[in-house]
Amino acid sequence: MQAFDFLNKLGEGAYSTVYKVRRRSDGKVYALKQVKLLALNEKEKQNALNEVRILASVQHQNVVSYKEAFFEEETGSLCMVMEYADGGDLYQRILEYQKKGRYMSESFIWTLAVHMSRGLKALHDLNISHRDLKSANVFLYSDGMVKIGDFNVSKIAENGIIFTQTGTPYYASPEVWKDQPYNTKSDIWSMGCVLYEAICLKPPFRAEDMQGLYNKVVKGEFQRIPRNFSNDLNALIGRFLAVDPQSRPSCEEILTFPLVAKRIAQMSAPVPIPSAALLDAILLPRNMKQISDRLPAAKYEEERPSLTEPDELQADSSLPRIRYRGRVGLTPDERMFQSRAPDPNDRRKRDLSDPIKLASPSRYHKKILRENYGGLQIVRRNRLGSLSRPSQSRNMDISAVLDNPSPTGLPRRKPRYVSSHVRPIARLPVLESHNSRVLRTVTEEESRKNSSVKSSLRPAP
């Protein structure tokens, strides 16, 4: 449970609760169903494991997909992670239209019929009967998809016949009411009830008590759908709600009906999905801590990182394009985004005859001068391009600095002798910056000269 962040509660039953969660590893939203397994009897525990088996077996775009199942020892709960329906369920949609006092569009009803038929066909191909198909178990998505979910009471018919009776009374078929054996045609009846409720915003069979409901269901008495819906849709509902199970069509026959095929041609083609195989039954262990080893593996859709930029970033980007080549031949704007680490062995050829034409000092050279040779002085150029007199002087002992080890461990650079605009003096190389400033050191001889010049310029007392 530590792998998920619980957002809110979606629903709650007697022994199970459904939460909206966010998985921390991928940031996606899922639906997590928590079943209090220790509070159930043996049959109910097996039904919960059977739901996990069916969810992991069926892989279809119109069936809620399975993601993961695990057992939480702290609460003794079986947790099933499924895809989250961002559009809610059909029952919530019906309540919304009841408040509005409006009917749903016929195109949406046909979408329901086609998608539910496809989802049921995926179940029936594996001999699985849903047995509890109702509007609350039909889930809607923002992309227009309709999916079937909640397989808690679903059953696998080994011989195609089921004898146990279950389901919601409003959607139960006549053979279930009569306590007779039934097959997958019972789901067709339930789908007809769901479509009728979506059209009329109310179930087809209603009564004040169970006996009255029984009489209407076994007789197949229901009102016609509103006249503003087509006769094709009314005929389809009539085929679904046939009292005789043999008169009801199968899902494969429904999808081949001319009136349904005409609507399918207007929809997008289904995504091809490989045929699924029914997983082996999950046996209930005596020690519940061993149940995690028997659950199916996780089936998350992990996204692979793209090796190329998205098309919108390639087509329009306000960031400069970085080119992996040398600095030679680059424009000033391109040179700004070229990273270059300082190289201690870098000995650039400088024109030492003219200090004004020297290259710009790098950060590495500035660090050498500042930490190894101490006092630096900023000297400006005048309008004629020659160096102006230094305004300040700082004495330094070069020999003392050279004798001491470097505090940073960087190699020391020996002083060079360059020509000056006055006369040759011993000083360090003069480096020119971007704003036409020159950084240089002041020798002891020049410092004495500057002091004499200042004293001669002072007015007599």
Catalytic residues: 132
CA distance 187 to 172: 9
Q: What are the structure tokens assigned to 400, written together?
A: 């003392």
Report yes or no: 241 and 218 within 8 Å, Cβ to Cβ. Answer: no
Q: How far is CA 162 from CA 83, 130, 131, 186, in A?
A: 29, 11, 10, 10
Contact 104, 92 (CB under 8 A): no
Q: Find all residues with CB under 8 Å of 163, minimum gap 6, and list them.
A: 181
Report the C-alpha gap between 438 and 185 in whole angstroms.
94
Q: Which two tokens stand for residue 321?
A: 């394009």
Distance between CA atoms of 449 and 269, rounded to whole angstroms? 94
Beta carbons of 291 and 71 less than 8 angstroms apart? yes
- For residue 2, how far is the Cα from the chain centroid? 18
Q: Are strands 16-23 and 4-12 parallel, antiparallel or unpaired?
A: antiparallel
Q: How many CA atoms lie within 13 A of 83 on its CB side?
A: 24
Among residues 365, 338, 337, the alpha carbon closest in space to that of 431 is found at: 365
Q: Find, among 48, 49, 55, 57, the residue nearest to 30 by Cα.
A: 55
d(CA 76, CA 48): 13
- CA 174 vs CA 52, 185, 189, 392: distances in Å: 29, 11, 9, 108
